[in-house]
Amino acid sequence: MKVAVVGYPNVGKSSLVNRLTQSREAVVHELAGVTRDRKELQADWNGRVLTLIDTGGVDLQDTAVLARQIQAQARAALADAAAAVLVVDARAGLRGGDHEIAEVLRRSALPVLVAANKIDTAADLPLAAEFYALGLGDPIAVSAAHGLGTGDLLDRLAELAPAPAEPVQAEHTGADNDGAEHTGAENAEAAPVPANRTHAEAAPGGVPIRLAVIGRPNVGKSSLVNRFLGTGPGGKAAGGSREAVGRVIVSPVAGTTRDAIDQPMSFGGRELILVDTAGLRRQAKVGESLEYYTSLRSRRAAERADVALVVCDAREGITAQDLRIAQLAMTSGCATALVLNKWDLAAELDLVHERARAGTKLRLRPRVMTASALTGRHVERLLVEAVGLGDRRRSRIPTSQLNRFLAELVAARQPPSGSRRRGDGHRLKLLFMTQTSEPPPRFSVQVNSRPRVTRDYAYYLENRLRERYRLDGIPLIIDFVERHERRSGARP
């Protein structure tokens, strides 16, 4: 059951959601207005599964553009929910804004519970009584900070949730001969895909590709995500789907998005999970704890993604910070591409120069692409590239192909020889090559002498391998192993 958690700004909605779901996914800070997009987190209680939708603080008297977008997000959450929790600040007392939100909830016809938050001790319990005046039933005294009353709130929510369905033994149709157990499509859709599932274990069609959209603040990440989902300007989804309200708030104010928000989508018959993240500021500017926490969330998003699109502002070109963010993504194991967004506004940019600079500064040589989230230009190309990167990151190259590649490599450039003065004048020999694992792709090259492998020749092999098999922007590992050794040695 989906539950919308709504309330006035800075009443502790995100803290309460984190407490109920036993997580720290929702960003929490003492400043008002930290939560801006809606975010879904799950709680299991007494056999009931509750999906809590954390929303931004709603002040219906605030007419600023960003405030109106937050209000639209909250209304979208209510439209998607089966129940609502109105969170109020018991210490601040009953405010006019609480009455206005309560009236909206009454018109929604949803079951509503009032959570009087910030009641941290038994002495504070009488503070909850004031909220009877909202006309939404008995307020539940809770403390998100200390957990007081949260069990009571979950009990009340569990009473509203439907009873779990009895497990149904799916009938075997006999269509397959491999003895596999069959389940209904509903169960297959609901079952989460393990994050560590390997390519060999993937179901038909492959596991969903986790795509992180990262970059500096205000470069258009949320606009791109909304365009992918069909909720941005123009309305048509790159993958054919559409929502009535943009899932992620877009604003000219830098740093609008502060959470990493996961959003599933389909494109070209493939399943993707989009992760739109808060902008990464330069390290020197991350002084405020909120910015530090948000940057940390973005790094974590890259660490759990398969592919990262590093969004840059084409009007500025690829900055040093953009390059650092791309390096962060690749170090985290993401297949990575750079996206020059706002391309329609960058008539003077030298694309050849930008691509050459990225290729020089980043050893993994990620592809540099152009797009405009505003006009939709080249947006589908980004998704095509993301799917391709995800597939190549999980790909297996046949051993026969790798050894033909190795022979051509040696013919084009002879391996280095040792020093006669040190008594190791024999030339390095590359004897055999195979791929040992994925993702990321890992290769083993058998050699006659591990110490004779120079850094230059190792890079030469890596670069030619990237060119041959389109592995640009994809982290890979090459182990050089002496033939008599059983353990892999790291490349210099």
- pLDDT of 318 reads 94
Residues paired with residue 313 on neighbouring β-strands, in sequence order: 341
How high is the pLDDT of residue 119? 92
Q: How far is CA 57 from the centre of its chain?
A: 23
Interval 13-56: pLDDT, tens? 888 988 888 865 544 434 444 444 457 788 888 778 888 888 77
Q: Given a cut of 70, is residue 443 above it in pLDDT?
A: yes
- Quick one: CA dihedral 44, 45, 49, 54, positive or negative? negative
3-state helix, strand, coil in the chain (%, to 5): 35, 20, 45
Helices (H) and strands (E) counted in the chain, each on its own, are 12, 15
Q: What are phi and psi of 401, to 5 degrees?
A: -65, -40
Average pLDDT (162-171) is 52
Mean pLDDT score of the chain: 76
pTM here is 0.55
Which of the four pLDDT bands, split at 50, 70 and 90, describes residue 430?
very high
DSSP for 334-370, written as a single string: -EEEEEEE-GGG-TT--HHHHHHHHHHH-TT--EEEE
Please state at what angle helix 96-108 crosses helix 65-80, rounded to 10 degrees: 40
Domains annotated on the chain, with CATH: 2-160 (3.40.50.300), 202-393 (3.40.50.300), 399-482 (3.30.300.20)
Is there a contact between 378 and 372 (Cβ–Cβ < 8 Å)? yes
Residue type, 261: I
Spell out where 182-232 has E strands: 209-215
Name the band, by pLDDT with cuts 50, 70 and 90, for residue 115: very high
| Cross-sheet strand order for the sheet of 261-267 | 261-267, 270-276, 209-215, 307-313, 335-341, 367-370
Kindly tell me the sign of the dihedral angle through the C-alpha atoms of 437, 407, 456, 337.
negative
Tell me: pLDDT of 393 over 60. Answer: yes
295/275 Cα distance (integer angstroms) = 14
Backbone angles phi, psi at 99, to 5 degrees: -60, -40
Strands 48-54 and 39-45: antiparallel
pLDDT recorded at residue 425: 56
3-state secondary structure of 257: coil
Q: How many CB atoms lie within 10 A of CB 49?
A: 14
Residue located via tokens 């009571």: 152
- pLDDT value at 424 more than 80: no
Confidence of residue 7 (pLDDT cuts 50, 70, 90): confident
Predicted confidence (pLDDT) at residue 305 exceeds the cutoff of 70: yes
Rounded distance between C-alpha atoms, residue 136 and residue 450, angstroms: 74
In this prediction, residue 164 carries a pLDDT of 60
